[in-house]
Structure 1
């Protein structure tokens, strides 16, 4: 009986260390893979459902950018912004597309001139993004990921 208990005890102790080392090795492999992953690129850009999902990555990017820029142009053409001191001004809009394909403004960089003369600009941009067509998130290794984009918006006064 003592031998059976001793034998079971040895199996129990060795099996715990077996699982421990297997788990440790798995974590090491994951850590190694994460260190070598390019976190600055995606496998598939976010895409509007009006774009073709089966095209190349570059064509997806082009369709995404063209759809977004065209939407911004349509929205901004509906509003009359007035800059009195300059012919043109560039504003940078930074936005995030989350893993569900929802888009939100992260920040808008503009100078004091734009802030003073066009206080409604932020609201127009935010509303414009809310009115975008349905969007699918970017993918990295088949998993939806958050992506951040920066778009320069040129405001012309003439």
Structure 2
């Protein structure tokens, strides 16, 4: 009887270490896989529902960019932004498209000159982004992911 109990205890002890080593190996495999993922690219770009989801990644990117730029041009052409300086000014609009396809302006990088002469600029740009057509988020390995974009807007002078 003692041998049976000793045998059962031995099996329990060895089975626990067996699971530990399996768990450790699984974690090692996960860590290895994570090291090989390119975190700077997505499998599919965010896309507007007016774009074709079934096209190649490059075509998705082109449709996304063209739709975004077209919308920006239409919206911003309705406003008269005037700079009195002799040079044109570039403003960078940084925004995030979240996992639900919602857009959030992260930052608008501009010169103090732009802020002084056009204090309403940030509000107009932010509203323009919020009025974009519905978007589907970017996809990475089958999972919706946040993506960050930077759009340069060149302002001309009179």
TM-score by length of 2: 0.95
Query: CA-atom RMSD, angstroms?
Result: 1.1
- Partner of 1:45 in structure 2? 45
- 1:2 shift after superposition: 2.4
**What is the CA deviation profile of residues 92-137 of structure 1, one whole-angstrom value per residue up to 9, with x for unaligned ones?**
0111111111111111110011011111111111111111111011
Displacement over 3 Å in runs of 4+: none
Distance 2:82 2:90 in 1: 13
Distance 1:137 1:6 in 2: 58
**SS of corresponding position for 1:154:** strand
Unaligned runs of at least 5 residues, structure 2: none
- 1:45 shift after superposition: 0.5
- Partner of 2:25 in structure 1? 25
Q: Say which is worse superposed, 10-19 or 47-56, in terms of deviation.
A: 10-19
- Partner of 1:75 in structure 2? 75
**What is the CA deviation profile of residues 47-77 of structure 1, one whole-angstrom value per residue up to 9, with x for unaligned ones?**
0111000000000000000011111111111
Residues 85 and 157 in structure 2, CA contact (< 8 A), matched pair in contact too = no
Aligned 1:59-138 pairs, distance under 5 A: 59-138=59-138
- 1:17 shift after superposition: 1.0
- 1:87 shift after superposition: 4.4
Unaligned runs of at least 5 residues, structure 1: none
TM-score by length of 1: 0.95
| Number of residue-to-residue matches in the alignment | 158
Q: Say which is worse superposed, 41-50 or 86-95, in terms of deviation.
A: 86-95
Distance 2:118 2:13 in 1: 71
Residues 86 and 157 in structure 2, CA contact (< 8 A), matched pair in contact too = yes
